[in-house]
Structure 1
Amino acid sequence: MRIENSFIPVRGVGEVTERRLWEHGITHWDEFDGSVVGDTVAERIERFIDEGWTHLERGDLSPFATELPASSRWRLYENVREDTCFLDIETTGLDATRNRVTTVSVHRGGETTTFVHGHDLTADRLASELTEASLLVTFNGQRFDVPFLETCFDLEITLPHVDLMYPCKKLGLDGGLKAIERDLGIERDRPDLSGRDAVRLWHEYERGDDGALETLVSYNRADTRNMEPLMDLVADELHDRVFEPYCPGE
């Protein structure tokens, strides 16, 4: 499902009205003709579509991300699949004012890069990575990863953001990333490691154990890479549930 199939970013259009539009064959912006809804809402939809095409031509998903509920931002993914940046961080604790970020992994275009505190993890490097992407995908990053990075590196992360935790909940997939991976059959190396182990591994590295850093980086990279197949599965399943009944084969 693409952004062009969506009408819920429009003020006054909820999921019920959007489904009604789809039921009447209006499944794409190009098919909207002002029918089905009242004049005021129709004018808003027409203005949204006109402005929406301009935003898409510029590659700017921000206006859509702002108006879409967190559980519906998966709709942005198909438009910019190849320019999506998957991100995960490890830290020494849960308080960004007292603890620090130890590693940050980003996965985009089939490649994973990891930045390490004290080596190459800087605000400039992070900003550069995010600037090159069109969409950010995290798991629980809306509440944790993004505000933690913003606090620790004095950044303002404005990249349109899909926090996978919310669309997963829409599918009844609860729990942490690794629990959901198990439920969906997504495999990883060292499934025994947890966030607590990530803290322990960093402290062992600080005491001189280089092998602990290698393990930590491997764990962080697995968290990041595995979000891509999870995003694919979630987007496909939600497409089938939300949109496919109204537009078979799309």
Structure 2
Amino acid sequence: MVIAIIAILAAMLLPVLQKARNQARSIQCVSNLKQVFSGLAFYAGDHKYYPAAKPSQEAGAAYPGESFVWTFRTAPYLGQRGVPRAHDGIDVWQDASDIRNAGVLNCPGLVIGKKDMSCYAMNTFGRYKEDFRMTALAAPPEVDLNSPGGNSLYAKPDSRCTKSSGGIAPPSPSRMLFVSELGYGAEMAANAGIPCNIRNGTYLNNVYNGLFQNGFEASFRHSARKSVLWFDGHVSQVRYKEVNWSLVIP
């Protein structure tokens, strides 16, 4: 009888404990992104521009060129090492994964399964450039600023969207997506990866049922929401497809 009562109480308490655990992870993720913005702001104070999401993607460089990826550029401003390197028998790609998923760059709600996964990803600003004519953007070396919108571009803190698009007014900084969480996309099936850059809303809303965990649970891992750091520095959470293809809430 006592064992039966304990089992019943445990069954009643487990959902409550799970909900509390998920809420704690959600709060930690929001806190992480607020600190990430501080790191980005300090970086921009030193360099005039924010780091680009993944500039070497278009320039064709590999490590150490990949050290220009936004997570590695921001990490030293977050009290973390920022340059991937081979050391103590550790593969440089594994070291890179360890850096971009450590400290406040690590979302406690994501199961890290492969070296090519990132907890957080940055807007490439390509859609804002193409759709909303975002100002004060710069291109990485060997990349044409006027090339298609997938390029990872450098933005300034005072960059602004100036043009309406698709019936949507130029989004203010509080509606311009900066850094967020991604899910497991079907196009990454070969390496089970989650990239560090967000090209458009398809990337943002990926919910492919991947090999390492349910795709929806990976992408919207905080009670069916995902955390978003907006360009003005505030953090909030959004639902599935609440942010459209141009990375704006209509």
Task: Return the TM-score normalized by structure 1.
Answer: 0.30
Who wins on radius of gyration, i.e. which is larger? 1
Q: Which has the higher strand share?
A: 1
Q: Which has the higher helix share?
A: 1
Task: Return the TM-score normalized by structure 2.
Answer: 0.30
